A and B are shown apart, each in its own frame.
Chain A
Amino acid sequence: GEEVAQTPKHLVRGEGQKAKLYCAPIKGHSYVFWYQQVLKNEFKFLISFQNENVFDETGMPKERFSAKCLPNSPCSLEIQATKLEDSAVYFCASSPRASNYGYTFGSGTRLTVV
């Protein structure tokens, strides 16, 4: 399809529980990016993939966050043992091979940790 599909739209987790978010990039797009947006503030880069390979993971809090992009499956972002500060909207974006035209964003998953 021509949209980046993120599921679920909303997710509520108790502190300490696991959260798993999914992203289906646009077909044919080689790059996938995850960003975290707290409130309406700036976007924090988490991780990017080139196909199923990690491209840049400099933004990932490695102790609790992990991500995968496997062939023929949606990409996923998993947070183990969620904390209150993980409450945010998590955006996925994808771009084609020639990535300098900007990225197409999904509509985000709002994670609320209570």
Chain B
Amino acid sequence: AQTVTQSQPEMSVQEAETVTLSCTYDTSENNYYLFWYKQPPSRQMILVIRQEAYKQQNATENRFSVNFQKAAKSFSLKISDSQLGDTAMYFCAHLGGNNQGGKLIFGQGTELSVKP
């Protein structure tokens, strides 16, 4: 069974600095997808970034980028030039590729605080 682990319950960073959130996962599949979701205090789940396992190139979305290490089953999120609006819970998630419409498996979440 797939599992996702986020080992950092809480992180903090100064505004304008860079922070990296860790995520590891376990799967027996070769083709799958990984995601980072942001959940601000409004509790709305917002998709931050997506990575396809068969693509070696790390995904990037503006200030957000990932370091995808397939052999190590690691998928960390780097936030550059942190902004106060980045304060939120961040969830790493895995989606199996062999089953269209399969469920997302989430990690435990990391609570990020951006300090002025």
Which residues from chain A sit less than 8 Å from chain B, CB to CB? 30-31, 33, 40-43, 45, 48, 50, 55-56, 59, 89, 91, 93, 95, 97-105, 107-108
In the complex, which of the residues A30, A55, A91, A103 has the most CB atoms of chain B within 10 Å of its own CB atom? A103
**Distance, CA A56 to CA B115, complexed state (A):** 42
Assembled-state Cα–Cα distance A2/B91 (Å): 23
The reply to whether A42 and B111 contact each other, CB–CB distance below 8 Å, is no
- Chain B positions within 8 Å of A, measured between CB atoms, are 33, 35, 37, 39, 42-45, 47, 50, 52, 89, 91, 95, 97, 100-109, 111
A100 close to B89 (CB less than 8 A): no
Please judge, given known A-B contacts A102-B35, A105-B44, A107-B44, whether A43 and B100 are in contact too, CB under 8 Å: no
CA of A76 to CA of B44, assembled, Å: 19
From residue B114, how far is it (CB to closest CB) to chain A in Å?
A: 17
Q: Is the CB of B44 within 8 A of A100?
A: no
Whether A101 and B91, one on each chain, are in contact in the complex, defined by CB atoms closer than 8 angstroms, is no
Q: How far is the CA of A99 from the CA of B100 in the complex (A)?
A: 6
Smallest CB-CB separation from A89: which chain B residue?
Answer: B43
CB–CB A95/B50 < 8 A: no
Tell me the minimal C-beta distance from A92 to chain B in angstroms: 11
